[in-house]
Structure 1
Amino acid sequence: MVYLCGIPLEGMVWTNEFSAGLPSAVSVPCADGTSAVFTEAGVSFGIDLESAEDDGWLSPYEAQQLKDAACAAGGVYLFSHRGREFRVRFRHEDAPALELRPVRPASGCGEKDCFYGKIRLKTV
């Protein structure tokens, strides 16, 4: 099961799970024509969560909880995924950090509305 801030995110998929946290490298040309490669371990990395229009819906209450968490400047939260836990923050530098859309845009159902979309996080 997937949780963020204690909110169950059933049906949301960690789309960059297997590329997150990989080392990065920069190649710099040297005066003698060779290259020097500097590698950095993937200490902090982005986590992208997505749900589809037909799966992974959030209730209005869960969507509001996520919005409140995303609005808390400097907030650090616990993200749980398949028995692993990460301390994360919302990745506002890749705006929007929280992008939720209603399943039925003009339904007016209130409490019966459901939402799907993307959540962009960064480990801390």
Structure 2
Amino acid sequence: MAAQLADEEIDALEPTFLGPTWLREQDRIWKLPERTLGWQIARWCAEFLKAEDGGPDASTREQLRFVLWLYAVDETGRFIYHKAVLQRLWGQGPALDLNLVCQSPSSSLGTFPRRSSALPAAIVA
């Protein structure tokens, strides 16, 4: 059986952060990528995704930073990151739409050819 920690011991624990999503500048503001397609992803989510109650889909600030870094590109337009993990306990805020982040950023974001039924069909490379 694991030993129980006192409240004071839990409060004294320092969190561990890996990756750029949690980096801060010297003035404590969040460090954001210089170039990213993430803002376009966030704009698309705000416009087209809806919450269960029909209202706008709301992501946390952490989730937004994660998407900004996931879709960060270098000065030649190539993706900087090709793999990512955001792991949280159940109930830690709204769920990030996994359709946006599960596919590799280096793959096609999808094309939508017309089918005979005139409904779009997504093709992901």
TM over 0.5: no
Q: RCO greater where, 1 or 2, for CA within 8 Å and sep 6 or more?
A: 1
**Whose helix proportion is higher, 1 or 2?**
2
- The alignment's TM-score, normalised by the length of structure 2, stands at 0.29
**Whose strand proportion is higher, 1 or 2?**
1
- The alignment's TM-score, normalised by the length of structure 1, stands at 0.30
